Amino acid sequence: MEFHQLNPKDIAQLIAFCPVYHLPEETEAMFSYSKDYTEDLSFMPEIVLKPANSSEVSQILRYCNQHNIPVTARGAGTGLSGGALPVKGGVLLSTERLNNIIDIDEDNLQITTEPGVITEVLQNAVKEKGLFYPPDPASKGSCFIGGNIAENSGGPKAVKYGVVKDYVLNLEMVLPSGEVIWTGANVLKNATGYNLTQLIVGSEGTLGIVTKIVLRLIPHPKFDVLLLVPFNKFSDAAKAVSAIFKAGITPSAMELMERDAIIMAQKFIDDYSLELSDTTEAHLLIEVDGNNESVLMDDMETVFRTLEKFDCGEVLMADSEAQKSNLWRLRRVVGEAVKKQSIYKEEDTVVPRASLPELLTAVKTIGADYGFRSVCYGHAGDGNLHINILKDNLSDEFWNTELSKAIRQLFQEVKRLGGTISGEHGIGLVQKEYMDIMFNNTQIDLMKGIKQVFDPNGIMNPGKIWV
């Protein structure tokens, strides 16, 4: 599809709608909006607009729709699938000024917010009221809640509490036509027509722009206990995940890190206080939470008894909030630490958790066959494994041609195990060539049909998911 390239008249009109903006001559600023956290990709927009309300968003979209100008929505730019990259140029619409928490409804356990609020800021605001918003991606200290909705983000707490879609009640959304709608109602039960709210969650900005969000909250748990468990066999770490659930324990988090991931994280933050045994191949970070401390300790006893069946090293139980914070910091920086090592490709696979051992075996086998190194970590409790493939000394020719064959083989194995090719990062730009593995033509046509209804001119985030 050919889009209209901005001319001086277009720019003058757009900045009249939205007086906060960046133009191409602001090279440094524009370049920062050309990238997200996806590999080494960069695509320059023709203009960056920063609307402050739904009215400004509406005017921008109406004009762009009338003049065939592509629009790419962007939150904090922490995405890992290229979803916020303006691959067709045009308008990059940043939500950074839509950054207000509008209301915290303590009676109904709800929060109404704009999309540019940082996730951790929102979490801390409701925590002050004794409330809890569980989804907590690794980038929670910088990512925006709107971006989390666009990608249906998860994080460590998903194993017990669910992902973003489980907390979204209602969305204010601007359609490409400029019309502003609400997708649902601020209620816990809604069987009224098609569920537009859930359709928008995970749609990656391809259907419209979310300008207000209503989320449900839950009471904040009073206590938590955190363990770091070393395993002498990577396979045992994966097997222990299902064993703990079978023992009747549902952790609030269960994170898997292979040895290289820990080493890279320690180097990244220059903290070697955690001593690694020469025989350790992987760690599980296990958290349980709740409102009864004695019940939690009973749960931990069950966890310890279960771990005795495996080849584990000495278990570390965090004995202070500071130690808990340090362990979580080690886990949360793994992604950034890996990226410092080399050019990389990150695959966000997810399988039924009992299939994790098979998936890990497949990753390492395919890596050996094709000659690449991988570093694995992720949310083991819900079967979500992040597979980072490092370029190291691989040739550009291999990286740009042969590696896709290996990834396709890996994704076929993921499907065979009952999984899918993205658990929380989305499809965006980098995964779209593999969608045929998961869906047949009928399924893809149905989804393309939905896109056509919302965005008949195809201006919303073009170049992602389907085209």
pLDDT digits (tens, 9 = 90+) for 418-442: 999 999 999 999 999 999 999 999 9
Average pLDDT of span 192-212: 98
Alpha helices in 202-276 (DSSP H): 234-246, 259-269
* pLDDT at residue number 467: 67
Three-state SS at 214 = strand
Average pLDDT of span 388-396: 96
* pLDDT at residue number 40: 85
Higher pLDDT, 339 or 107: 107
Look at the alpha carbons of 157, 160, 163, 169 in this order and tell me if their dihedral is positive or negative. negative
Strand 218-219 to strand 131-132: parallel, antiparallel, or no bridges (unpaired)?
Answer: antiparallel
Confidence bin at 107 (pLDDT 50/70/90): very high
List Cβ neighbours of 351 (8 Å cut-off, separation of 6 or more).
Answer: 358, 359, 383, 385, 414, 417, 418, 419
Average pLDDT of span 135-140: 94
* pLDDT at residue number 143: 97
DSSP-assigned beta bridge partners for residue 209? 174
Residue with tokens 């969000």: 213
Average pLDDT of span 361-379: 96
**Residue pair 377/258 in contact by the 8 Å Cβ criterion:** yes
**Residue pair 232/279 in contact by the 8 Å Cβ criterion:** yes
Strand 21-22 to strand 101-105: parallel, antiparallel, or no bridges (unpaired)?
Answer: unpaired
Average pLDDT of span 5-22: 98
Considering the domain 101-219, what is its CATH architecture?
A: 2-Layer Sandwich (3.30)
Measured CA to CA, the distance from residue 74 to residue 57 in angstroms comes to 13
Where on the phi/psi map is residue 347: left (φ > 0), alpha (ψ -120 to 50), or beta? beta
**30 pLDDT exceeds 90?**
yes
Mean residue pLDDT of the chain comes to 96
CATH T-level topology, domain 223-336: Alpha-Beta Plaits (3.30.70)
Average pLDDT of span 397-412: 96
Average pLDDT of span 47-68: 98
pLDDT tens-digit profile of 238-271?
A: 999 999 999 999 999 999 999 999 999 999 999 9
Domains of the chain, by residue range, sit at 101-219, 223-336, 342-429
* pLDDT at residue number 280: 96
**456 pLDDT exceeds 80?**
yes
Confidence bin at 7 (pLDDT 50/70/90): very high
* pLDDT at residue number 62: 98
CATH code for the part of the protein at 342-429:
3.30.70.2740
* pLDDT at residue number 262: 96
Average pLDDT of span 79-94: 97
* pLDDT at residue number 63: 98
**Residue pair 56/18 in contact by the 8 Å Cβ criterion:** yes
Where are the extended beta strands (E) located within 75-162? Answer: 91-94, 101-105, 110-113, 131-132
Measured CA to CA, the distance from residue 458 to residue 217 in angstroms comes to 35
Number of neighbours of residue 370 by Cβ within 10 angstroms: 17
**466 pLDDT exceeds 90?**
no
* pLDDT at residue number 1: 77
* pLDDT at residue number 387: 97
Residue with tokens 């000024």: 97
Is there a common fold for 223-336 and 342-429?
yes
Confidence bin at 146 (pLDDT 50/70/90): very high
Residue 379 CA to chain centroid, in angstroms? 12
